[in-house]
Amino acid sequence: MTPVRPLSLVTGASAGIGAAFARALAARGHDLVLTARRVDRLESLAGELRQQHACKVTALAADLADPAAPGTLCDELAQRGLAVDWLINNAGYGVPGTFVANDWRTHADFLQVLLTAPVELAWRLLPGMRERGYGRIVNVASLAGHVPGTAGHTLYAPAKAFLIKFSQGLALESHERGVHVCALCPGFTYSEFHDVTGTRMLMNKLPGFMWQSAEAVVTEGIDAVERGEIVHVTGRVNRMIKTMFKLLPDRVAMNLSARQSKRYRAQDAA
């Protein structure tokens, strides 16, 4: 049974797709728990949403690179009596450079944020959703999870491919209990992602038709999970790209991906 005011937990909510999810869900009558590392941005967004939508917003700073963070976050929710109905696993980033150009701590933190944290949050929050007979989990994956891996950002595509497969299995286990799970797979999205990775100038060379706004991505994602769609690639262009790579022989797809990726990748440090 759908709650009168669902409670949504959004990770990585301080900017980009996460902030867009927060605004869209607040506009749909949800109360919110927002989490990210930058508490000042969270508080600013929380104030905006309270004023515009008269919703309850809890801002909790958390660094999901800390293995203890998901458990601590869920314990805090339980202590406050907050039962999460929607989980938006959005927190993520890219690590530029080749695999050996970065130290292991950098890779370990990345895997914790993009793989372990979303899986643990789902594991901790799913039982309550199943018990109440209602829940939505959106794992923000990527078009990158559907195409061949490329040099540079070596772990990014594999991590997103994992989220897609994880979402598929979890959806099949949960749909009969009123819980919808969706892997949301955007392509190039206007956000801070490429500023953080230092590739903004290169990305600006891409034609405009390849980009979507964070708001458009989120609208598609909310509609998809409500429909019960398990994997959703946003935007017509991205869906065409996914289909093309699926139909191409592996060797041809790998060569094409390698050639294109060189045009938009920063020079490797090592």
Q: Just list the catalytic residues.
A: 156
Is 31 in contact with 53 (CB distance < 8 Å)?
no
- Nearest-angstrom CA–CA distance, 39 and 57: 13
What angle is formed at CA 141 by the lines to CA 169 and CA 47, rounded to 5 degrees?
Answer: 115
Is residue 232 within a helix (H) or strand (E), and if so which, with residue range? strand 231-233
Question: Residue 202 region, left (φ>0) first, then alpha (ψ -120 to 50), else beta?
Answer: alpha
Is 134 in contact with 2 (CB distance < 8 Å)?
yes
Q: Find residue 213's DSSP bridge partners.
A: 190
Question: Which residue carries 């039962």 as its tokens?
Answer: 83
The DSSP result for 47-107, as a single string, is HHHHHHH---EEEEE--TTSTTHHHHHHHHHHHTTPPPSEEEE-------S-GGGS-HHHH
Distance of CA 22 to the CA centre of its chain: 13
Is 42 in contact with 32 (CB distance < 8 Å)?
no
- Rounded to a whole number of angstroms, the distance between the first and last alpha carbons of the chain is 54
Handedness of CA 249, 140, 213, 229 (dihedral sign): positive
